[in-house]
Amino acid sequence: MKTIAAISTAIGNGGVGIVRISGDDALNIVLKIFKPLKKGEIKPFSLRLGNIIDEKNNTVDQVLVSYFKAPKSYTGEDVCEINCHGGNVAVNRVLELLLNNGATLAEGGEFTKRAFLNGKLDLTQAEAVIDLINSKSEKESKASVKQLEGKLGDEIRNIKDEIIGLLADIEANIDYPEYEDIEEVRREKIEDILEKQIARLSVLEESFNSGKILKNGIMTAIVGKPNVGKSSLLNLLLKEDRAIVTEIAGTTRDTIEESVNIKGITLRLIDTAGIRNTEDVVENIGVEKSKKVLNDAELVLFLIDGSKGFLSEDKEILNEIGDKNHIILINKIDLQNEEISINDENIIRISAKTGEGMIELENKIEELFNLKNLDSENELIITNIRHKDLLNKAKQGLKTAKETISTGLPIDMISINIKTAITSLGEILGESISEDVLNKIFEKFCVGK
């Protein structure tokens, strides 16, 4: 494989910029442009201070070079990391010199892909790398770390080994019925093993309901009539003046999208145009967008102007919300309020002006989505739709096998279903996966990781 190089730190000014190079010729290429301040061989797993020199023997930067000898490196190959001073000029010049001296520019995720191909990581761990980089909340980060540590891979391998053991026993009984020392696999034993593994797969698969929230956040629509305080609530939740707030009804003509972290979970907030009947063409487009956002949302924050009461327009919006997860927010409680009676258990009185009621709002969101029981630090939580689909496929294979056994058909009839489950679990780990799927996974990575 070619020796690859790329910048591993984010673009922009900073204290340190890192250029990474991996492959058989990594050290040789680095030595063409690096002059240590002290003479001597660069030893594995050490740092050396020196200068990067260009073609004209001019110093480009003073750097630290670390050398990791295969297989004890991130990729499993010889790896060098050049720690430059931060900034675009130095790191780009160092990368250019490496490429001019024999390295090839790495593709997105190629370092992690090589780590997978060289057996340093299984595919669940490799996918956890990009999930950790893209984490938007503490809980999501903890779930990614747990997967990066190999906990998910270990559980999948354990289930897979149990199923392989069962398949081996079944096939031994079929192939060698004359040998007395081979234990006969009874139907009750098969059903018991299948039931236990189906249960374990179900727990993992069902955790995706929480994992989806961890990874994608909760799409939250802020809706209501014009001038009820939607934009004020958005600004209050974000703790910044993101949306324009005036006394004029219909100020917001389009959706405004931002994210905020509440109770360790990302809320993808969408402030919408006030929903009302209007002949203004531009405002009407905004109203239609608002209705679409409301329809797609996983949580609706429905604001009512508490100083004016529960009007017919409010009732129409509440009907639009239907049975979606929602919280009714009676706003402007700092003003003289009208008596409002709505038969709904998710009602909170707030003031988007003073901040009153915000703690109650956060607690209600936590209750609606059962966030207290979402323990990403101590529980295995599936956040990847690929894993979820393959777990379901494996589970269905085992269920079909169990149903076949219960009908009294010959035991050898279930082998193909059990093999389907084994193959699906192997795909999660990356033991049997097509190159197209592999490329699709790693194309999500940034260059340099």
List, in order of start, the domains of the chain with CATH numbers: 4-122 (3.30.1360.120), 138-207+381-429 (1.20.120.430), 214-373 (3.40.50.300)
Predicted confidence at residue 208, as pLDDT, reads 92
Query: Taking each helix axis from N to C terminus, what angle separates 385-406 and 208-216, rounded to the nearest 10 degrees?
Result: 170
pLDDT at 116 over 70: yes
- DSSP track, 106-170: PPBTHHHHHHHHTTSS-HHHHHHHHHHHT--SHHHHHHHHHHHTTHHHHHHHHHHHHHHHHHHHH
What local confidence, expressed as pLDDT, does residue 310 receive? 87
Q: Is 14 helix (H, G, I), strand (E, B) or coil?
A: coil
Residues in the chain: 449
Determine the Cα–Cα distance for residues 216 and 35; give it in Å rounded to an integer: 47
pTM of the model: 0.80
Give the residues across from 85 on adjacent strands. Answer: 16
Residue-wise pLDDT for 268-289, tens only, equals: 998 877 676 655 555 556 667 7
SS3 248: coil
Q: Which of 266, 231, 234 is nearest to 250 (CA)?
A: 231
What is the Cα–Cα distance from 14 to 97, expressed in whole angstroms?
21
CA pair distance 58, 64, nearest whole angstrom: 17
Q: By the 8 A CB rule, do 216 and 263 touch?
A: no
DSSP string, 264-283: TEEEEEEE-PPP-----HHH
The CA-CA-CA angle for residues 435, 439, 445, to 5°, reads 155
Q: At what angle do helices 187-206 and 208-216 cross, to 10 degrees?
A: 20
Read off the pLDDT of residues 336-378 as tens digits, 9 standing for 90 and up.
676 787 888 899 999 988 899 999 999 999 999 888 877 777 7
Distances (CA, A) of 189 to 160, 169, 172, 415, 434: 17, 11, 15, 15, 35
Mapping DSSP to helix (H, G, I), strand (E, B) and coil, where does residue 231 land? helix
Q: What is the pLDDT of residues 363-372, one digit of tens each?
A: 999 999 888 8
How far apart CA 265 and CA 278 sit, in angstroms, is: 36
Q: Please state, for a pLDDT cut of 90, what percent of the chain lies above it.
A: 49
Q: What band does 246 get if pLDDT is binned at 50, 70 and 90?
A: very low
